Amino acid sequence: MELPIKALDCRDTEIHYTIKALNLSYWLSRRVDDFKWFLWKEATASKCILKNVNCEARPGEILAIAGPSGAGKTTLLEVLAGMIPLSRLSGNVLVNNEAMDPGHFRRVSGYVTQDQLLFPLLTVEETLMYSARLRMHDGQQHNKAAVRVKELLKELGLEEVANVRIGEESNRGISGGQKRRVSIGVDLVHDPTVLLIDEPTSGLDSASAFHVVSLLKSMATKQGKTIVLTVHQPGFRILELFDRILLLSNGTVIHHGTLHLLEQRLQFAGHSIPCHVNVLEFAIEVTQDLVVSTEESEDCEDIRRNLQLSNVKENNICYANPLFMEVLILCQRFSNNIYRTKQLFIARTIQALAAGIVLGTIFMNAGNDSMRSKLQTQIGFFAFSLTFLLSSTTEGLPIYLQERRILMKETSRGAYRVSSYVISNTMVFMPFLLFVALLYTFPVYWLVGLSREINAFLYFSLVVWLVVLMSNSFVACFSALVPNFIMGTSLIAGLVGSFFLFSGYFISKEDIPKYWIFMHYLSLFKYPFECFMLNEYGGEKGQKRCLKIVEGQCYLNGEGFLKRQGLNESQKWSNIVVMLSFIVGYRFLSILLLSYRSCRTKC
């Protein structure tokens, strides 16, 4: 059974939600490792995490899921949040007595993970503002989002640190408790009526933990929100704020009810609760003595034999904003992150300028002599320039990897499309890399003594810009594939080296074995290397330019040299088209990889 048609209206925030789990069982599939996540092979069940779980979360109440480590608390929360496909579960998850539509439910609810996935260089207000503009309808109406953020800052007690950056280990910002409240605020900006939080008090001192849970309690009672959270060892005061407690042990429900009822059950079982130990903490220690119903203690192998998977299908996610508006908002957010990353911005610009000056002085006037040695020197300059330009853009890898975790979380909640992220990322990097390309081109071109024509200079600058864009797109693509920075740098460095090898500089196309010839055409070095030579030795000036003199006669001019290399004038612009195709192709491939990774992450 699916949700009613009216429930698919993403703008409907007036409905209150009751969530129920009926006879819910879940087998954890064997985890796909970092190197095989992209394989289609189905994983086999290996461990029973949840066994016939029955629970209910009601509007205006806080349901706390408690239990020892490994009891299945986070897994149950992920199921209730719609993060685990219903096709992998037995039993039912109901929302207002209707079968859950995970896609819609993720859009109208808020899910806060234990990992605080925040951008360290954004301020508290900016973090909430960007989230509001992405998740609220008509996000382009900046005033509406600003009003909501102001309300939320006051509600979360973050007004004093609104203009302070989130910070990280190397650059201190707000405190751990404030970060936790910001994480909650990110999923509250669209005013969801359901909020699910994993370990909201983890890593906080007792005062900060009590403040966070008190805030949640106020939201539940005053706004009628349905709040479900997991806890490990809550204090006395925090326990009193929970309306009901779900106690798990090895995936089985031990208790589902009020704290007072749990205390009565413990006393009925013959236990005397020490004064210095709270009821829940004591119950976790003696869970094996609590009475479990027959249906809850069913053997896990029996569940596996009788497993009936749900056939509920996800409806398409309803996004708050059109693609164009998503791209605009993400461009603004990504720009702030890029230009505040001083290590990237300053180091990259200084590197480009310094490299241009140093290489220019090394190869100075390489084009003003007609001797063959000078020709080889100039060709060597082209080759080394490409090596520098293509290998120096891997600095974007850590940024992509950091953002990927946040991207997976935000796209899974329906905040925006993966394609919007890739497009905005490209648009932000284009002017930045143009600036970097010009910083390198201006000194090196004139110092080396290349063609003095303005058209040749502009073409050279265009090729350099396309090279760094192509390299950046290449890194973006493989950052969607690799599991970590070490694997990413190793893979990218190996591929860049192979591209250089098959470019035609070390070994000619005719000498490359047929089974490796495809690498020649896939090489990122081949096309700009040919462009540099065509720009310098082609055209009318190439016919007049003598590159080698024998016995006082011109033995080799520019046109003849290009013919020896198998190049003709038409390739000057066809190679530009190929380079553009590489840029678009790698970006498109990154969309596919990120979309597939997002899909597999939830499976």
Below-50 pLDDT ranges, the chain = 1-9, 11-13, 31-35, 37-45, 139-140, 291-314, 370, 603
Note whether 253 and 70 are within 8 A (CB): no
- Which segments of 136-235 does DSSP mark as H helices, in order? 142-156, 176-186, 206-223
At residue 451, the pLDDT reads 82
pLDDT at 9: 45
> Which residues lie across from 28 on neighbouring strands?
47
State residue 465's pLDDT score.
95
Amino acid 228: pLDDT = 92
Q: What per-residue confidence (pLDDT) applies to 270?
A: 74
- Which candidate, 97, 17, 98, places its Cα nearest to that of 60? 17
Judge whether 296 and 253 are in contact, CB under 8 Å: yes
CA nearest to 221, candidates 506, 370, 10, 16: 16
So what's the pLDDT on residue 555?
A: 66
176 φ/ψ angles, rounded to the nearest 5 degrees: -65, -40
Q: What integer best gives the mean pLDDT of the chain?
A: 80
User: In the prediction, which pLDDT does 105 show?
Assistant: 83
Please provide the DSSP assignment of 475-500 as one string.
HHHHHTT-SSHHHHHHHHHHHHHHHH
**C-alpha span between 178 and 274 (Å, rounded):** 34
Please state, in angstroms and as integers, the Cα–Cα distance from residue 291 to each residue in 283, 284, 294, 306, following that order. 12, 13, 9, 24
Q: What is the DSSP secondary-structure string of 112-123?
A: E-SS----TTSB
**Domains in the chain, start-ordered, CATH in brackets?**
5-296 (3.40.50.300), 326-602 (no CATH)
Q: State phi, psi for 374 to the nearest 5 degrees.
A: -70, -35
What is d(CA 45, CA 30) in angstroms, rounded to the nearest whole number? 6
pLDDT, tens only, 351-407: 889 999 998 888 876 655 545 556 777 888 888 889 888 887 677 788 788 888 888
Q: What was the pLDDT predicted at 320?
A: 75
DSSP H helical ranges for 224-322: 236-239, 259-268, 279-285, 300-305
- The answer to whether residues 560 and 382 touch, using CB atoms and an 8 Å cutoff, is no
Burial of 429 (0-12, 13-18, 19+ CB in 10 A): buried
519-572 pLDDT, tens digit per residue, is 888 889 999 998 998 888 877 776 666 666 666 666 677 677 788 888 888 888
What pTM did the predictor assign? Answer: 0.79
